[in-house]
Amino acid sequence: MKILGLDPGLRFTGWGLIDSTGNRLKFLSCGRVVVPDNTDLATRLAFLYAELSKIITALQPDQAAVEETFSNVNAKSTLKLGMARGVVMLAPAQYNIPVSEYSANTVKKTVVGAGHAGKNQVQHMVKMLLPLAQFANADAADALAIAICHAHHAQTMHRIHS
């Protein structure tokens, strides 16, 4: 099963693709969408959707996983992040790809073992679990962590329902 992890952001959206077979994980690809910040919000959201659509078409994932939005001190920033997250969830859904959601704490607890792990700890464990992974930024590493989290949770759910 190919899983596309997505770490939503209005400026940077990380993505990571892994293959999950049984309890084996394999790195396939990762990167980030850089959204131009010199245009209006609607244009930025349209750009994000178009770029994610290209990625989904090229990679053909079976499932997608998205990190849930956390509340920010700035309500306006939280609202804009929520809009970007909506686009990130819409893109795979438009291709009939099931989308699961995980809180940041669930992702960290699944990947690192601690719900309040730092970015460096997450990146280190992603590298341990996916030794061939090459990520140039935290956004891609976080997206891979989200995909790993989904692989573990999907496997557990499969065992429960089998």
Residue identified by tokens 């209005």 is 10
Lookup: tokens for 107:
């992702």
Task: Report the predicted TM-score, pTM, of the whole model to 2 decimal places.
Answer: 0.92
- Structural domain for 141, as ranges: 2-161
The tally of domains found in the chain comes to 1
pLDDT digits (tens, 9 = 90+) for 88-119: 999 999 999 999 999 999 999 999 886 677 78
- Indicate the SS3 state at residue 1: coil
Nearest to 38 by CA among 20, 11, 15: 11
Q: What are the residue numbers of the active site?
A: 7, 67, 139
The CATH code of the domain that includes 27 is 3.30.420.10
pLDDT digits (tens, 9 = 90+) for 60-74: 999 999 998 766 678
| pLDDT reported for residue 44 | 97
Name the helix (H) or strand (E) containing 4. Answer: strand 2-7
Question: d(Cα 69, Cα 157) in Å, to the nearest integer?
Answer: 23
Mean pLDDT of 17-42: 95
Of these ranges, 11-15, 109-113, 131-135, the one predicted with the greatest mean pLDDT is: 11-15
